[in-house]
Structure 1
């Protein structure tokens, strides 16, 4: 039970810090099974205390920033690094993805993810935390037009899209 207990304690610690910073945030919990390789990544990320972050970054028109690095349009997503706080990770991920600064307004939802190894039913469940944040763009240098591609670099591009077209449930 060592991995499970430590990973659960890390998640609880991160949730407590999230509450201190943003107040009460809805928390869901889900458990799923993954292949051995993905399970090992979850174990490593848990050991490192990484939190998955998803950023709904809005422009002045209320549209959401999306990026296309792997053939599908998604909100900027990443993980915390070292002792980085999740809101700080959002700012870094958005800057790396879109080359712009943002202000984190709120933590919208947190999900505790129990990860099981489908190849080894005796392996302990590893717990990870995933947080969806609401943010606003700090720069007006980007085109605010609906669904317009605004940058293209190394095959990845970003654009604004109608917020109603982006489902939060698909993120976690």
Structure 2
């Protein structure tokens, strides 16, 4: 199972490159404990791609959700029968209650995780795609807010 995460991520990246002319790709690797590696390996069974959308209001503020003490863009797994764009739209709606229209691909992050205790285990790959989106309708749910700073940049207000 672990060996095919690279192939699945590469296939999704190629598909996105075919659909969008230009976008940033950030790649990084992390070395994790064996327990975290095993947890990540189990998570790859439901998918190796997650998607989200950064939606802005007429004032240019970005809609963000509280997660782990920060304001973040909502991200979630791409379902087996979904496109990455459909998943970004669904994740935004489920996390915030807001409807949007996907406009463009802002960027992609690829993370390779390795087991620091066992370097012979194959790296596990995960791709996260973040789209820009236009606000359509809906009021943000509790735990969501329109923010002037980019999501992920600010600690959650007390």
Task: Quickly name the TM-score band, shorter chain normalised.
Answer: 0.7 to 0.9
Equivalent residue, structure 1, for 2:17: 19
Deviation at 1:125, TM superposition (A): 0.8
* Structure 2 match to 1:160: 146
**2:141 & 2:152 partners in 1: Cα distance?**
24
Deviant stretches of 4+, over 4 Å: 167-170
Q: Compare the two structures and name the one with the higher strand fraction.
A: 2
Quote the residue 1:52 is aligned against. Answer: 50
Are 2:133 and 1:135 equivalent residues in the alignment? yes
Aligned residues: 154
Residue 3 in structure 1 maps to residue 2 in structure 2: yes
Alignment correspondent of 2:108: 110
1:73 to 2:71 alignment: yes
Query: Is 1:87–1:104's contact at 8 Å kept on the other side of the alignment?
Result: yes
Higher RCO (CA-CA < 8 Å; seq separation 6+)? 2
Cα distance in 1 for partners of 2:75, 2:53 equals 6
TM-score, normalisation: structure 1? 0.77
Superposed CA offset, 1:57-113 (max 9, x none): 111111100112544321212111223221111111111111121111111111221
Length-normalised TM-score, structure 2: 0.83
Identify if the C-alpha distance between structure 1 residues 13 and 103 changes in structure 2 by more than 3 Å, giving closer, same or farther.
Answer: same
* Structure 2 unaligned blocks of 5 or more: none
CA distance in 2, matches of 1:31, 1:169: 21
